[in-house]
Structure 1
Amino acid sequence: MPNTVIAERYQITDTFGKHQFDHPPQNIVVTDWTVLENLLELGIVPLGAPELDRYRHYVVQPKLPTMITDIGKRMTPNLATVKSLNPDVVILGTKQRELARAFSLFARVNYYNSFSPRYRTNGTKSRKRFLQIAQLVQKVPLAEKKLAFLDTRIAELKKQLSDHFGQQLPFVTTCRFSAKQKLLLYGRNSMPDYALGLLGIEDEYQTEVSTWGETEVSISALKEIKTGYLICFKPHDDASIFNQNNWRKLSLVQQDRFHYADPVWSYGGAMSVLYIAEAVTKTLLNL
C-alpha cells in the first residue's frame, strides 16, 4: 500500500477566538490590505484582494503579484466575485467584522482586527497579528525570522541616525495627505509613531489616541511644530496646498523643515514598521 501522509490537526487564534484546521488553507481571499501585506510577506499569494490599483499606488511594499483577482472595495467587496473564486477561507481585517455572515455561507471566515484605541500600541499588536496569520498558513518560523530581521535592521537604522545627528535626534512629525487632500498627522498609537519610537525619535505634535493614531488638522495647526521636521509620506497627487499663503508663511516651510518620504503604508502589518523606519531614515539622512 502507498504511504499516506496524514496532516496534523492544529489550532489557530484570531479576533473571533480559537479555530481548528486539518491543513493550511490553499485558496484564500482577503478583504483588507493589512492582511494582504502579511500574507505576501509570508510568501502566500491570495486568490483575491480589494482595490489592487490603489494598493499599488499607496502601499507599494510588498509588491503585488499580477495574478490576484480584484474583488472590489475594501469595505464593500463584491460577494459574487469572492464566491466565484471558491475560497477555503476569507480573511477579514480591521472594522470588517460585519462582513463575516455573508462570507460564512460559502467559506470559512477568519478575522484579524489590527487597529484599536484599546491596544497598548498598534505597532506591538501588529507583531502578534503577523504571528497569528503565520499560524493559520503554517509559516510561523518564517514570520519569526522576518521579525528578527526587522529588529536587526531597525537597530542599524538607529545607529545610522545617531552617527549622523549625534545623541540628540531631531523631532519628527509624520503626515499624509488623504485622497481628499485632508492633512493627517500621525501621533500616539499610529504605526509611524511606533516606528519613530524604535528609532529613538520623538514627535513634536501631540495627538489623542485613536483607532489609526491619526488626526486631521488645519494648516494653522502646524505652527505647533516649532523646531522639528514634518515628513510627509508619498504619494501626494495634488500639490495645490503649497500655493496657499498660510502654507507658505509657516516657519517649517520657510526654514525648509517640510520634506517627503518614499511611499509606505501607515496602516499596514508588522513589516510596514520597517518600511516606515527606512523611509524616514532615508529622508533624514538626505536633508
Structure 2
Amino acid sequence: MMIRLLSKKLTLAVSLMLISMSGLALADTAAHQLTQPHQAQQIITTDWSIAETLLMFDAPLVGIGDVMQYKNWVVTPRISDKVIDLGLRSQPNMEALIEAQANTLINSSWFQHILPPELINNRYTLHAVDFYTDEGLSWHNTVTQTLLLGKISQREAEAQALVAKVATAIATDRRHLDRFADRPIAMVQFIDARHLRIYGNNSLYGVVLNKLSLHNAWQQATNGWGFKQINLLDLANLPPSTLLIIIAPYPANLAEKLRHNPLWLQLPFANKQNYRVLPAVWAFGALPSMQRFSHLLTDSLLDPPHYAWPDE
C-alpha cells in the first residue's frame, strides 16, 4: 500500500515538472518569435497570368505551376532556373510545394482551392487576383488587377511602371498601323486541322486589337474566355478581305494537312498574302502577354515574309 502511494506521488511530481517545462518551452518559443525579424515574402502561383506579371515585377516568386508548358504557351518573361516547378497547375505536387518553402499563395479564384485547407491555414497567406471575369478580359480590369498584384507582392512602383510601359509600347505600335485600319483581322488557334478557336473583343487578342485601333473580323458571341470554337467552314463567313492571324502552338504537320485540304484551298487564307503565323502568345494572359502580342502582330503586318509557316 505504501509503495503504491509513493508511486502515485512520484508520477504526479513528474507530470507537474513536465507541464512546467512545457510551459517554459512555449514561452521561450513565443519570445523567440517576437524577437525574430518579419519573415520575407516568398510567393508561389499556379496561374500563368499572375506568374508572368510577378516575373516582370522581379517579385520573390519561388514556385510556378507547370513550368515546361509555360515555356511553350507563355514563352516570356523567362523563368529562372531557381524557380521550382510545382507540377500541374490544377494539382500541384506536394513535395515541390514543401521544397519551395513559400509563405504566400497568389492565384486566380478558380485556382484558389488547389491545396488542402489544412496546408493553407497552417502555412500560406492566400490572395486572389482575377484578370478574367465572367465577361472575359478588359484593359481596365487588367490594369486594376496588375496594381492589386503589385500591392500584394510589395511591388507597387513596379506595377505602376509596367502599366505605363505596356500602354506606351502599344501606343507606339499603333502609330505604324494606320494603313491596316480598314482591314478586318481574325485571330485563331488551331485545335486540329479542322477545328479552331476564334477570339472576340473580350479576349486578350481582341483587347490589344482595339488598343491598336484595328478591326476584329469576329463580331459574334464568345464564351467567358473570349473565344468560340469553330470549324474551317465557318472561316468562309468572315469578311472577304479578312487577314487571318494564326497563333502558335498548333498541331504537328498542320501546314501540310491544310495544303491537302480541299476546303482550306477554297478559302482566301490559302493565299499567303491573307494570313500570318505568329509565335505563341498566352491567350489568357495579362499585360506582359498583351505587349508581346502587340509587338508580334505589328511586326507581322509590317514584315509578312517572316510570319509564314516555318517550312515556307
| 1:133 equivalenced with 2:149 (yes/no) | yes
Which of 30, 49, 57 lines up with 2:64 in the alignment?
49
Larger Rg: 2
One-letter code of the match for 2:244? L
Distance 1:31 1:170, change over 3 A: same
TM alignment of 1:76-91, pairs within 5 A: 76-91=91-106
* 8 Å CA contact retained: 1:56, 1:63: yes
* 8 Å CA contact retained: 2:186, 2:218: yes
Which of 290, 293, 308 lines up with 1:273 in the alignment?
290
Which of 268, 273, 278 lines up with 1:256 in the alignment?
273
| 1:245 equivalenced with 2:271 (yes/no) | no
Tell me how far apart the structure 2 counterparts of residues 154 and 204 of structure 1 sit (CA, whole Å): 20
Question: TM-score normalized by structure 1?
Answer: 0.83
Show the counterpart of 2:228.
215
Question: TM-score normalized by structure 2?
Answer: 0.77
Q: Displacement, 1:177?
A: 2.5
Show the counterpart of 2:303.
286
Identity of aligned residues (%): 20
One-letter code of the match for 2:249? P
Which of 35, 49, 58 lines up with 1:34 in the alignment?
49
Which of 189, 209, 213 lines up with 1:176 in the alignment?
189
SS in 1 for 2:216: coil
Most deviating of 262-271 and 51-60: 262-271
Q: Displacement, 1:284?
A: 0.8
Q: Displacement, 1:206?
A: 2.0
Show the counterpart of 2:247.
233
Distance 1:82 1:182, change over 3 A: farther
Show the counterpart of 1:3.
none
Tell me how far apart the structure 2 counterparts of residues 124 and 286 of structure 1 sit (CA, whole Å): 31
Q: Matched residue pairs, number?
A: 262
Tell me how far apart the structure 2 counterparts of residues 47 and 176 of structure 1 sit (CA, whole Å): 31
Residues 152-188 of structure 1 deviation map (CA, whole Å, 9 limit, x = unaligned): 22111111112xx17x442111112248984111113
Residues 84-124 of structure 1 deviation map (CA, whole Å, 9 limit, x = unaligned): 422111111252133265341321211212212336x4332
SS in 2 for 1:192: helix
Distance 1:99 1:179, change over 3 A: farther
SS in 2 for 1:216: strand
Most deviating of 176-185 and 138-147: 176-185
Structure 1 spans left out of the alignment, 5+ residues = 1-21
Residues 110-163 of structure 1 deviation map (CA, whole Å, 9 limit, x = unaligned): 1212212336x433211111111100122111211121121222111111112x
| 1:93 equivalenced with 2:108 (yes/no) | yes
| 1:108 equivalenced with 2:125 (yes/no) | yes
SS in 2 for 1:172: strand
Divergent runs of 4+, >6 A: none
User: Considering only aligned residues, what root-mean-square deviation do their CA atoms show, in Å?
Assistant: 2.3
Tell me how far apart the structure 1 counterparts of residues 140 and 253 of structure 2 sit (CA, whole Å): 34
Show the counterpart of 1:195.
208
One-letter code of the match for 2:124? A
Most deviating of 168-177 and 212-221: 168-177
Q: Displacement, 1:23?
A: 6.6
* 8 Å CA contact retained: 1:195, 1:273: yes
Tell me how far apart the structure 1 counterparts of residues 269 and 193 of structure 2 sit (CA, whole Å): 23
* 8 Å CA contact retained: 1:45, 1:65: no
Tell me how far apart the structure 1 counterparts of residues 192 and 235 of structure 2 sit (CA, whole Å): 20
* 8 Å CA contact retained: 1:25, 1:89: no
More helix by share: 2
